[in-house]
Amino acid sequence: MAAPVVGRFAPTPSGRMHLGNLLCSLLAWLSARQAGGRVVLRIEDLDQGRTSLAYTRQLEKDLLALGLNWDEGGLSAGAPGPYCQSQRTAYYEGQLKKLQAQGLVYPCFCSRAELHAASAPHASDGELLYAGKCRSLSPEEAAARAQKRPPALRLRVPGEEIAFTDGHYGPMAQNLARDCGDFILRRSDGVFAYQLAVAADDAAMGVTQVVRGRDLLSSTPRQLYLYRLLGLAPPSFAHAPLLLAPDGRRLSKRDKDISLESLLGAGFTPEEITGRLAFCAGLLDSPRPTAPAQLLPFFSWQKVPKEDIRLPEGLFAR
């Protein structure tokens, strides 16, 4: 018998959800529910300076307002949580130790300015490709430098191609050393990095199916490499096209005009919003009011475009 499907929402509570976040949550929900699966809500609030409890409460409300429910996680979850990353530091420490025991972690003392000066932009997502300045510091040198400035911790990556098949974009491959470089596991301020936390958490929470925005497609090989090193079973991955504003720019949480809050305030019903999103994603042939559960018979990744989706002008105007 196939293992039960577990999908997830993994929002970062750094602002109000915008339509792109909601479309991605809708696709994650449909993908898990259509397979009869459960959904976990994990709050990605590692960066406490950028996230807040108020936004977390709000995003829970927003998801529920649209009918995107979950079975486990969120603020009110008990054991086996916690489901907020800010409360999972001890678990990440344990995972980090496993990597350190393999001799693959080293301290990096480079400042932001040094990184910018010495690194090439990341081939795929505009991040910096680390040139490896601190890769071969001796333990004595590293200890002396750590007296002056706390280091970030990086993972040594191999010049190896990591390949996987994305559920929407098909076969993908990345050479970690060439395309990505040694990446950060823990920042110099002690905050664990997204890559480690997300892989370790998806495994710990039993997630079998990751659906998220295409902007994270190029993070997947790094996460697969972490799964391998940590001896964890990887989930399947399906990435969704991004939703763009009518003028082609990427939506951002700063775009108040297209937040759920402002759309509900303008008098759109949750079904009108869901129906319009489903229409944009190719799941409906007209933008008619629809609840997520009514979309279950229509959902198929084959209908969803691969190119990013530009919101038609006026679709969300009153």
Residues at the site binding ligand GLU, with contacts judged by CB under 6 A: 10-12, 44, 198, 212, 216
Phi-psi region of 141 (alpha: psi -120 to 50; beta: other; left: phi over 0): alpha
Q: Which residue is nearest to ligand GLU (CB)?
A: 212
Cβ proximity to ligand GLU, 8 vs 186, nearer residue:
8
From the CB of 236, what's the least distance to ligand GLU, in Å?
A: 13
147, burial (CB in 10 Å: exposed 0-12, middle 13-18, buried 19+): exposed
What minimum distance in Å lies between the beta carbon of 216 and ligand GLU?
A: 5
Nearest approach, Cβ of residue 24 and ligand GLU (Å) = 8
- Between 11 and 270, name the residue whose CB sits nearer to ligand GLU: 11
Shortest spacing between CB 221 and ligand GLU, in angstroms: 13
Query: Nearest CA to 122 among 162, 163, 173, 178?
Result: 178
Nearer to ligand GLU, 50 or 116 (CB): 50
SS3 165: strand
Q: How far apart are CA 266 and CA 261, in angstroms?
A: 9
Nearer to ligand GLU, 199 or 278 (CB): 199
Of 18 and 276, which has the nearer Cβ to ligand GLU? 18
| Buried/exposed code over 275-291 (b: 16+ C-beta within 10 A; e: otherwise) | bbbbbbbbbbeebeebe
Question: Measured from the CB of residue 43, what is the shortest distance to ligand GLU in angstroms?
Answer: 9
Name the H helices within 35-88.
Answer: 53-66
